Amino acid sequence: MSVKPGAGGQRMGWATTALAAVTVAAGVIGPGSAHAVPQQANGLDEVLFVGNNWDGTADVIESSGGYAKVGRVNIIPDKQERLREIYLNPIKLAFFLGVRETAGEGHDQFVDDMYTTPDGSAVVASRPSFADVVSIDLVSGKVNWRFPVSGYRADHMAVSPDGNRVAVSASTSNTVHVLDIRTGAQVGSFRTGDKPHENVFTDGGRYLWNMSIGEVNTPLDAPWQDSTKGDRKITVVDAQTFQTVKVIDMRDRLDAFGRSDLSDSVRPVAFSPDESTLYFQVSFFNGFVEYDIATDKITRIKELPKNPSTSPDRTTWVNDSRHHGMSISPDGAKLCIAGTMDDYVTVVDTATLQETPTVPAGKPYWATVDGDGTHCVISESATDSVSVIDFVSGQKVATVPVGDHPQRVRIGHVPAGWTGTPDTGTGNGSVGTGSAGLGTGSAGS
């Protein structure tokens, strides 16, 4: 099944954006009527952006077919300027080094998430170690604008269905900022639980969901220590007013289902195409949870195979993950699951919850549906590659080498015939100071 792209060339990823409507009544969010997806703008090529977290680059490959390499973008052309700023501020330096030693596994985290602008002229990326969001011009390779988030680390993002706004989690300030994707100007923000992570727009952009994961960098990883991880919840807001519509605490729902042993830290998620069902992964668990939105109840929990080679010591699992990354096929029939610490990928039938035989993969960190909806693309962070998995067979059909430690993979658009940005090195770049400014005001507080 092929999915038409969004307005201005921004095709919405099925892994993170549901395309049907959601209605809100009496505080309960349930399914509504579907919305059509506008046509792609002319003069653009649909591609996949692969964020190389430790490199500070994004590799760009074909979104389907042969998945050939198209080009590369330097996401940190202003690296020296940012480092000079950090090393002159003891507090910023402490957090910068903290990110390196915890979430970065001894490496700086230079690119986390990324989306392209509706006209395909720029890629907008979050940079955890620099605690900001930047827009990189895809022709010149220079910085169009920069938005420092509140606090000291930027994380997952989401783009609105019309492609005009981007939401970013500021993980150390428990805040989500929503920005104009063209200018970088903040249009709104809202508070979340501890350590906001995944963001998802629903109902055609009417609502915005945030999943907070709590503290994932402490050694207090035994099940009985789970309450030390902080206030973890799903926060649903009106995407125009940024007022809270609903707060969902999965602790109560998991307990009611008889799984008080599972963490309530909601990690990557996938909505069914009609937005009636939410699938999500939680910390430390080799599997996923199915949640019915209308009834506000967990309906099924699927445990997936354990790799006998995976250490049982939970403190060795990166950022409290066991499985991290999932996407859903356009027809809602298949889930593609990245078994991160178990070093495999598998496809699960959503009707029966039967999985395909596991396929070896090197610490897969993310899963995204490809351009024609027939395959999912996983990032293999341990082997510096991305692999393509067939939704029908569950088999790996292609592998493409990329940069150092790939994580997020997103559908995007570039000008037709584009082959990469110039080598902008590690200079200062060019930072706009118009309506985007430098992210001052509430973002810098």
pLDDT 10s digits, 250-261: 999 999 999 999
pLDDT score for 356: 98
In a domain? residue 182: yes
Whole-model pTM: value is 0.87
Q: Is 338 helix (H, G, I), strand (E, B) or coil?
A: strand
393 C-beta neighbours (distance < 10 Å), count: 12
Report the number of distinct structural domains present in the chain. Answer: 1
pLDDT score for 22: 31
pLDDT score for 424: 52
Check: CB of residue 8 under 8 Å from CB of residue 118: yes
Check: CB of residue 378 under 8 Å from CB of residue 391: no
All residues at 6 or more sequence positions from 221 whose CB lies less than 8 Å from its CB, including other chains? 284, 314, 315, 317, 320
Burial 411-434 (b: 16+ CB within 10 A, else e): bbbbeeebebbeebeeebbebbee
pLDDT score for 217: 87
In a domain? residue 223: yes
In a domain? residue 1: no
Task: With a cut of 50, list the residues of the chain below it in pLDDT.
Answer: 1-40, 425-445
CB burial class (10 A; 0-12, 13-18, 19+) of residue 350? buried
Spatial distance between the Cα atoms of 108 and 353, rounded to a whole number of angstroms: 38
The amino acid sitting at 374 is T
Parent domain of 237: 7-444
Domain CATH code at residue 318: 2.130.10.10
In a domain? residue 150: yes
State the DSSP H helix or E strand holding residue 101, giving kind and residue range, or none if neither. Answer: helix 90-101
In a domain? residue 2: no
In a domain? residue 49: yes
For the stretch 10-20, pLDDT in tens is 333 323 333 23
Q: What is the DSSP string of 311-330?
A: -S-GGGSGGG-SS--EEE-T
In a domain? residue 18: yes
Kindly state the tokens that stand for 213.
């994961």
In a domain? residue 310: yes
